[in-house]
Amino acid sequence: MKVRYLGHSCVEIVGKHHILIDPDFTRDPQPGVEYICISHAHNDHIDRVAEVTTGLVLAAPDVCEIAAEKGVPKERLRPIAPGEQVANIQALEGFSQVDGLLYTVMTYLFRRRPLEPGGTPLSFLIEDEASVLHIGDAHDAQVDVKPDILCLPWRTTPLWSLRYQGAVTEMARRIDPKYILPVHYDMPPSDADPTELQALLEVETLVGSGWHLFNDHNLL
């Protein structure tokens, strides 16, 4: 099994199946994607979904509707709810921020544009040679799983950045993965240094744009 980060919140996994998570990538995935998982419908998680011309899209029903509006054929949409499983992919409750007055106002003030619809958030657990948990851009995911790899959003915020990063690292300690794959750290003006996580969490951090290879739950 191999896994790599493709920019923004996008992660590619090739193992039992070829899986792409949150398809707003800055580096292209390999051809032949079989499943596309979408944590929520903000553009930095879904915007390039129609450019991936293969694969079944797994997302909440309202997020599937947004994917259809972006050009994904309806026969490739598979609405899914927490607790459901498709192949080796399990949908879990999502905790990405998609609305709320404070979040909406802060997004408008600092991005100078309205917040796009986020739909119903989901998290995804992929079981393979190593298990992978993707929580979107949640900073407080209350999930009762112990993955080998946690895809952890890492960024700065316009206000209270240390408080936000403290919440993220506390969540990571609670989930207690063997490895951290940082995501979401390369989006100015909220970009951050993913190498900081190694010292903060004392967990091996998978950085860089290349593939990370796993066998029997361990990094090769």
Residue type, 125: L
Q: What is the pLDDT of residue 97?
A: 85
Q: What is the pLDDT of residue 161?
A: 76
Q: What is the pLDDT of residue 112?
A: 56
Q: Tell me the whole-structure pTM to 2 decimals.
A: 0.93
Domain boundaries, the chain: 2-219
Q: What is the pLDDT of residue 50?
A: 98
Taking only the tens place, the pLDDT of each residue in 166-186 is 999 999 999 999 999 999 999
* Burial per residue of 39-64, b for 16 or more beta-carbon CB atoms within 10 angstroms, e otherwise: bbbbebbbbbbbebeebbbbbbeebb
Taking only the tens place, the pLDDT of each residue in 48-61 is 999 999 999 999 99
Give the burial class of 97: count Cβ atoms within 10 A of its Cβ; 0-12 exposed, 13-18 middle, 19 or more buried: buried
Q: What is the pLDDT of residue 111?
A: 57
CATH for 2-219 is: 3.60.15.10
Q: Give the chain's residues under pLDDT 70.
A: 100-115, 158-159
Q: What is the pLDDT of residue 10?
A: 98
